[in-house]
Each structure stands twice: as C-alpha cells, then as structure tokens.
Structure 1
C-alpha cells in the first residue's frame, strides 16, 4: 500500500486499520512501532492516539514499548494471543537468542497436567524484565550459554518458534528447581517426558550440560523412580567423565539421617515415589 506523506489523524485511523488487516492476511500477528513510523508520514502524537484507540477496543496489545501484538477476533475474548504465537517475533525484535523451556516446554510436548502460570523463555545474559500483560506472565530465566543440542523448532498458527526438546526440558526442570516448585513438582512431568526421550539425544545434550547436579538428580529419578535403566546409564556415562559430589535430592531439605544412593551420590531427603 502507498500512503500520502501527511495524513490527518482521522484518515490515519482508517489506514492503520487497513495495515493491520494486511498483516493478518500475511499471517503476521505482531508489528513494531518503528514500522509505523516508517510507513506513515504522520507525527508521533497521531500514531500514539491511533494505537491507544486500538488497545482500548482490544484489537492490539502492547507487550513492551515499541512492540505490539495484534489480537484477531477469535482471540479477543482471551484478551491476548497464546505466547507461542508471538514469542519468536518478540525475541527477534529484542535481538536475542532464546528457547521456550521448563514447564512451558513440557506443556507444549503434552507433558503437563495443567497450564503453567508463567510462560518461560530461556535466554543468556543480559537479563530481560518479566512481562505481564492481559493475563499472561512472561518470564526469562537466564542460562550461562545457549545449548548446542536439544533445541527444536515447533510450529504455531503464526509460524515457527524454538522450544527445548523433551530431554533438555527434563534437565532444565532439574536445573531451575526454585522456579518450578521443587523436585516433587516435576516428577510427574518427567515421567511423561520419558516417553518422548531417546538415549542418543539425551547423551548429546548431557555432554553439553555445564552443571552436574541436574544430571545426578535426573539419573537417580530415571533409574530408581521410573526403572528406566537405559536412559539412566546414558547420564551415568557422562558423570563418569566428571568429578561429582554428594548432593541432596531436594535442595534446602533436611539432611540428617537421610539414606544415600552411592551410585548417583544423592542424599534421599524426599520420597518421590509418593508423588506419583
């Protein structure tokens, strides 16, 4: 579409509505404020006024200053698109590498009993402030480096986005225990992820995992709780290459008079079988 260089605010409203319809017809559900500045030759005040009108009627939401999500009629009652439909565009807008992880990834793999309260997107430093907008809560846990293996592409109605594989999801759940509610909160999730795991992928991902403790906890869980010896042995072979020490199954839990699993060097201070 070609637009005159100067538009009155009333005319601008019509052109902006038309522009948003054009984006939707192309399968796009997001736009940056900078796109409007370059597309329409009007002042900042006119664009701001038109965007505020669209936000009042619920057809556009602001995720962060300069980035907007289009809400088509079929999602209007929710007030927001599912995050997987705009997270890739948002992270590209910020110029950041990412993958959807933790309980959000588990849910996308069909391994969560209920929708997580937060949508977790794993990043590297610098950190990103959480985003709360119209019933969604986006959080951005930080990892020291992006994994070389274990990040899959998943398709939403708006295109592809990055998500941790079942194997990486399980390891991450045991790496961010405070965020996901502790070992007892993830044991059922890991049980469902097991059905999707492969030994080869688990080995490649474990080899690139910097932290040792989540491998110990996951290995113990796989072997002693679920009887998955083949998968557990993949982690044991990786641990054999490292120096690893005794750790509690549940960080911060009681340590006195706990039985110890010498194979995995785990102090068993919680009965996980009781959580199944």
Structure 2
C-alpha cells in the first residue's frame, strides 16, 4: 500500500519540527501540528517531579494573559490532579486519558467542580515521557467535550513521534532543567495546625487519607490503596473531621486551599 497525501504531510511536518527543536517556538509548533489532527481547547507542557510542576510552555488565558486558575494549580492544586498523582504512583510513559487515571468519585470533588471543569472543562489527554530523577515530562491537551474514540486512536498512532520529539527537545532546555523545582507546599503542616492543640494533630495515616479523599478516591479505593478495610477508612475520616472541626468534604477542601496560601 502506497503513502497517502496525509502520510506525506505528517512526515513533512515532523521533519520541520525536528528542524525547530532548538528554537523558542518549538512547543507552539508542536501543538499547532497536533491541532491539525485532533481538536482541543487548552494545552500545557510541563515537568512533574517531587516539587511543584515546572512549565515549559502553555496556552494563554482567554484574555491573552496568564490563566489565573492555572496559577492556582501550580501553587498547590496540582497535588489533587489525577494525572500528577498517577505519574507519582505508577511511573509509566505513554498516552493517558482522564478516564484512565481519575478516581471513582473525581467528578464529585470540589477540585473538579471548582477548578477542573472550569479550566479543562470536560476531558484531558496527557502524553508522558519518563526521565531520570523521578521526573516526568508531560504534554496535556484539554477539551470542552470528551475526545472521541477516533481522536484517541489517532493520538495513539502519532504518540510515539510526539514523545520522541518531546524527549529530543530536552537537549535545548538544559538551563531550565538545571533549576531545581520549587518545593511542594507543606499543606499537611497547615492541616495539622488547624486543630490548634497538639492532641488534635493529624497522624500520618490521617493526612494520607485526607489527601486521597480530596483527590476523589472512594472509601473502597482508599482501602485498596492503603491495604486497610473500608470500615477503618470511615473511622479515620470521622477522626479527621473531628480533629479539624469540620463536617464536610467542602470544608476540608477549603482548608486545603487555605494551606496553599499559608
């Protein structure tokens, strides 16, 4: 079977991107190429590590300036991002869709309602490239409507080219990569201090369960991740709420947001 015109156009475009690897506009050029094959509404190229995400390039906000919601994400909300959590728990390269990594109750969380659906809106696909030092290079594509099976399949076909280009680009991001990532916000300490009294400090297990709750994990998912019973999870949740003087997931999320600014 001979090459189609679309095949030729793709290979020509990839050739141009290889030529642009050392240029400032590489990420935009890569995104514009992807836009010819798959529709999406937002994008960001960033690096996940044990610190805060480092951004290589991102799409502008609606007014052409920085996206304020995305700044909140970088300040600490990323710790509830299913893609970030997945990149830390299971270091696997390749292409992932929101449905592949989102916890069971993700759409019921305050993080989803107050950030994700406003910023990403409906669906997200991320291409991950594993690096040394427990780092992951990511290209995320967000859409206002779910990606179709055909779009996901097409992205899967071109993903190896995209990932290879992303990896090769790193040779020209050496100055950026030399800067250590800003440390992650110690929101756990803020939650521990919320009780005011020493006896109200959350235990390490309670802090972990609080994070999993905020990220959208159901009681059964938390039990499975931590190898404890669902009833034990309920007891821990009751203790968390009691120690922090709160009664709901929304109040816990409010404390989390406050901790990002503390």
Per the TM superposition, whether the score is higher than 0.5 is: no
Larger RCO: 1 or 2 (CA < 8 Å, sep 6+): 2
- Structure whose residues are more often helix by fraction: 2
Q: TM-score, normalised by structure 1?
A: 0.31
Higher Cα radius of gyration: 1
